[in-house]
Chain A
Amino acid sequence: MVSRRSMLFALPAAFGYLGLRRNLRASVAGGVKRVAVVFPSALEPCSEAVEGLRLRLSGHEVAVDLLDVNQATFGADAAQEMARKPAVTVAVGSDAVHAVLERSFQGKTVSTMTLEADRAGDASQAGQVTAAVYLDIPIRTLIAELRKLFPEKTRVGLIRNPGRGGNTASQIRSQAAEPGSLEIADCATAEELLPVFLAFRKKVDFVICLPDGSLYNSATARPLIMASLENRLPLVGFSPAFVRAGAAVAVYPDYRGVGQQTADLVRRCLEPGDCASWETPRKVDAAVNAKVLRMLGMEFKAAANPDLVVLR
């Protein structure tokens, strides 16, 4: 059961998408700029981001056209949209980024709801994406959220996959407000995950897990969470699902906020000039698993975060 706020993201974007498909056939009045938003409706977080983006752009003389990569008619819809020459094309999620870059959308391309590590090694994007809002939460922000909830816990460990790209260990360490309080361990494969995690015992108060499907999935979740409980070493996850599974706490982007942030970026890109910007989420959410915290013997400061989601 969830308190304070629902963990399930509503799907107003789906209804918005159905309504706004009409825009694909509508003509745009003079002075109104066209923005194409390519997104996967099957992913609820992306739909939530699109809703945030759409609402933020409403009333700014911008016509937003939604194209769903999960629809069978996407190819035809994309061709139709390209003919209209949108000023900015927003790609939401990596599938949408690939779909946009495969086609010759004119104008500027803004990528959002992707992870920087997933994009870093992708040569096809070099020079093609004008600006981006990544989902990577700066380590400084992450640690600050943990300190709000658990003021006495100051030592933090982080598991990093060196094979995924993104920031190096020294770059991550330099981003921390107190670099000495952050210990980083590399883990390249799922087989190494448990020994790497266990090596943090008695050295840190938390172990941060960064989004990485090769390390954290249905096969590795159980032994990792069991080890966390057995050794009383809490996991800091990256999603509500991870908290539901058994991580003690998670800090994750506010997806609607990412959409709003993307809308601000889009508005800058609609103006003449350079709008290149690589941003991280301005707003983050946090969730705790009260049951797991009780099993670990930990208390948290609920009042520190009025929007905290508490799973029981």
Chain B
Amino acid sequence: MNEIFMITPLLIISGGILLSLIVEMFYKKSEIILPWLSIAIFISAAYYSLLTAYREGVVFNSMLAVGGLVHIFYFIFNFGAAIVVLLSIDHIKKVGIYFGEFYILMQSAVLGMMFLSGAKDLVMVFIGLEQMSVCFYILTGFNRKRSSSNEAALKYFLLGAFASGFVVYGMALIYGAVGSLSIPSVSFYLINQSPSIIFIVGLLLFIIGFSFKIAAVPFHMWVPDVYQGAPTTVTAFMSTGGKAAAFSALLVVLVPVFSNLAKNNFIPLLSVLAVITMLYGSIVAIAQIDLKRMLAYSSIAHAGYMIIGLAAGNQNGVTGIVFYLAAYTFMNLGAFGVISMVEAKDNSHVDLQSYTGLAAKYPLLAAMLTIFMFALAGIPPFAGFFGKYFVFISAIEANLTWLAIIGVISSAISAYFYLRVVVVMYFKSTDSPIDVEPSYYALLGIFISALLVLVMGLFPNSIIQLISFFVG
């Protein structure tokens, strides 16, 4: 009975999915009621996650961890998803995909993310990963009449399934070496003996598979196409929640493994991965004129910064990654929210040209986008700055100062393309600025994101203390 109370957030989402399916079946206009039902489900799950975060433990024959850091992740996923619902209400009507199923798939994806972040067993990692990914494949191709959406879905599906193949094969080899799939027994195996070659190969395949999911170079080729082709609010969802979930799984698996492994074998690998990922993302983003594509490359670069924390592997690194993921979630949601509002019916007006003179006609929208661009570029006092700061500090503590220096250089490069958007909005004028359909729900979502980005930037210490209390 006690276990039932410990998994309240999971039960809320699971029950919510069933309830939404029933509503969808019996109520003809489910697309009107489902967004509000979803928001209620997400907010209550987020609320209960924080409320019960102090009760740490494992449930279901130690398959799943609850409480502590896991619940912080639950909060990020659920609150982020609630904001995505707000952004989607008017957007999916505008682009012609006004169906209730959209929200049910989102709930299902969130459930997958929650399994992924709480996993204590590689079976759970696999199930969570696939549940999340399959929902994302469908959501990406949701606009089935538009060929760019189909194409993005196909590319995402083929490369996502390809990556899953690597993950599963890696798990098979790890199982062969360890004789068990539970993560504690994997780290116990490493205490007692030096890892066999089968284990090393398995772990490498596992890391390669997850590098696809977190969009690290050289496994990033799907990201720009998928982010560009998917409906904009879906892009917002998978670039934040999906990435946070994949990173949480990497933390869950790699941190206990690395703490017992001869770390020196993997630090160079992760460092190289971090360097090429952030430099590639920052440099290629300069050449992009499509804002969704630009943010896709920016998301690659941000994955690189987060891998720095993983390479450092100390407690500050983990805390930094969690803070960074929370900050990245809200600033990216806001940025994509503004893009989804400016986007026209036929999916045009996502290029930089369309934003010319936006500040004169829609000062509020331009101001919001400016906040998010500053935050993504890592300019204080917004949340993005402290995300990078904590990750770089952890690298310096782990004697990886050179990695932190390259990180700083890379974020200096990236400031160019973020600030270019601001320059185009404020300092260029045009005779025919574009029209934006007002959407008050989306504006509300953008406001909440902006508020969180500001709060996280102004009071980073209290949030870091909260996170490190649960990490330690």
Q: Do A and B bind each other?
A: no
Q: Which B residues have a C-beta under 8 Å from some C-beta of A? A: none
